[in-house]
Structure 1
């Protein structure tokens, strides 16, 4: 199973001590509506999982714009000086530090006073690209491991663990209550409802993956460390945290052997990045391919219309690949 090292982060109370306004309805538009949103709190979210939280908790009291448009791979996002200027007009910025370097820089330059960093609302961990220790040798071979994300290599993909996503939701809800006290009761109610839905989703994953023929899954993108850790699985990534990085020949050979050893039936790819390496590995090993979506964005190719639908599709695909009983 995945071995983790816990990295202490800022306490929730400190992270939630924000001085003002909140979030907005999830759209794929560029940021920059700021104030003047028909009395609503204007929030700019960095990408889909953050925008979804804003929409679910803020509902009618907020208006949300997303920096990352639908179909854009968040890791590849580039922000223009104009967008950085527009970002400064937002009432609140909701982002996840270390996931998107361009966003980190833009937020630092924006001058926005009310910033919510989701990375401070839960405990981030260090995950390798798998549950097995490939050590320094793997890094030397250029497999794109977690060092790309700085800050002790902490894995930012927390939203793929419903329990950690719920912790972030509570922090965002608390921040909104403080920023917009007139609607605090509504934010509290909406947060409780969302956390309840995430608790149900967590139970579905626990029950659905309790008994499987295999505990190992292979995916192109090292995004599923938290999910694997939560449900006792081993993630083996072809690339590292960057879905577009090219794996070394040694890594491909290693995965071919692992697939046979661990009774792996499927190589997973995702909707926003190339499936070339996944299909190459599958062809070389006689395996099937399927989608495991890291939920970094929703498009018409997604296996669902929102976070919950796509996560349940992921569960179904994992159950099939792992031989759930």
Structure 2
């Protein structure tokens, strides 16, 4: 997170009136449970959870994302000041186990209301299906090049370097696929949970939170129905992605994803893995290699060029890369891209 420097902050305070001076501070306020405009202050760990919280909270919440817009959330680092700010937030919304820095900060600061969406997300364990292979399977595949049916590279969350210090004792090695938000139905379940928890945190506006959550649940469920309907006639059943973020979407549609990189987009595919993907693409009649805004498209583009096929964007929506498009709009773009690439009638 980027914060105003103390020097600039002091200048602003000096120029303000006595009333404004009382609101200027270089440290988070520890008084009360609401922001100065009377709204609930909520910190969301990354964009999809920010989206849920803003849609459900409406005018009653002020939401800040711990992951900056356009940033990769997998290896998020938090400044000490941001960690301290968690203590004065009314609530934090996060996915336990996904971002080690956030888990660690919540453990240290113990915010008043902690909303973990993982129970509603119903995360799928690795090694449970072809769309959610285990780390060991991926590593073996990348090393040997023997299997042409698995679709993952490794998922390796080493320790996070916070302000230059490596907290190796606090790293998380996820045993489940975290990308639940790419299934709108799972997002709908998370919306209901967030609404219930915000209602508990702010009883005065409980009815509004629950009504907004119900409406959002219905919108997201309809989006899930649209996804299923538009992919039901796909003649191509496999799609190749920059990293293996789309397992839940694949499960919902009955398609199979093949990831160039694994759950962690920083993992690198071996030459043997790329050869496997190329063979799968040929065997399955794949027309498109999907790239992402936050991942260098060079490997995907080279693979597509070698195969003589196209590239297109399939957005994992881990961060908001275009402020003019929210989660729902990007998911609709994803559906259109997928149906075009997979020749869905």
Per the TM superposition, whether the score is higher than 0.5 is: yes
Between the aligned partners of 1:244 and 1:40, the Cα distance in structure 2 is 38
Structure 2 spans left out of the alignment, 5+ residues: 1-26, 144-151, 158-170
Name which of 172, 196, 221 aligns with 1:174: 196
**Residues 188 and 134 of structure 1: is their aligned pair in 2 closer, same or farther, counting only changes over 3 Å?**
closer
- Equivalent residue number for residue 95 of structure 1: 94
Structure 1 spans left out of the alignment, 5+ residues: 1-30
- Equivalent residue number for residue 138 of structure 1: 138
Mapping for residues 274-293 of structure 1, pairs under 5 Å:
274-293=296-315
Question: What is the aligned-residue RMSD (CA, Å)?
Answer: 2.3
* 1:274 counterpart SS class: coil
Name which of 190, 195, 205 aligns with 1:183: 205
Between the aligned partners of 1:306 and 1:51, the Cα distance in structure 2 is 10
Between the aligned partners of 1:131 and 1:185, the Cα distance in structure 2 is 39
Name which of 223, 233, 243 aligns with 1:221: 243
Deviations 1:230-286 (A, max 9, x none): 110101000101112210111000001000101101000111221122112111211
Q: Tell me if the contact between 1:32 and 1:44 (Cα under 8 Å) persists in the aligned partners.
A: no
Between the aligned partners of 1:213 and 1:101, the Cα distance in structure 2 is 40
Is 2:74 the counterpart of 1:52? no
Q: Tell me if the contact between 1:32 and 1:65 (Cα under 8 Å) persists in the aligned partners.
A: no
Between the aligned partners of 2:187 and 2:50, the Cα distance in structure 1 is 13
Mapping for residues 38-49 of structure 1, pairs under 5 Å:
38-49=37-48
* 2:316 counterpart SS class: coil
**Residues 81 and 136 of structure 1: is their aligned pair in 2 closer, same or farther, counting only changes over 3 Å?**
closer
Q: Tell me if the contact between 1:264 and 1:322 (Cα under 8 Å) persists in the aligned partners.
A: yes
The answer to which of 69-78 and 126-135 deviates more is 126-135
Name which of 182, 202, 223 aligns with 1:160: 182
**Residues 171 and 135 of structure 1: is their aligned pair in 2 closer, same or farther, counting only changes over 3 Å?**
closer
Between the aligned partners of 1:232 and 1:315, the Cα distance in structure 2 is 14
Q: Tell me if the contact between 2:126 and 2:132 (Cα under 8 Å) persists in the aligned partners.
A: no
- In the TM superposition, residue 196 of structure 1 has moved relative to its aligned partner by 1.1
- In the TM superposition, residue 130 of structure 1 has moved relative to its aligned partner by 4.7
Deviations 1:178-217 (A, max 9, x none): 1211111111211111011112101111110000111100
Deviations 1:143-199 (A, max 9, x none): 643464957611111111011111111001111111211111111211111011112
Q: Tell me if the contact between 1:35 and 1:89 (Cα under 8 Å) persists in the aligned partners.
A: no
Is 2:309 the counterpart of 1:319? no
Q: Tell me if the contact between 2:287 and 2:310 (Cα under 8 Å) persists in the aligned partners.
A: yes
Mapping for residues 119-268 of structure 1, pairs under 5 Å:
119-127=118-126, 130-131=130-131, 136=136, 138-140=138-140, 141=142, 144-146=153-155, 148=157, 153-268=175-290
Report 1 or 2 for greater relative contact order, CA contacts < 8 Å, sequence distance ≥ 6: 1
Q: Tell me if the contact between 1:217 and 1:235 (Cα under 8 Å) persists in the aligned partners.
A: yes
- In the TM superposition, residue 121 of structure 1 has moved relative to its aligned partner by 2.3
- TM-score, length of structure 1 as denominator length: 0.84
* 2:42 counterpart SS class: strand
- Number of aligned residues: 293
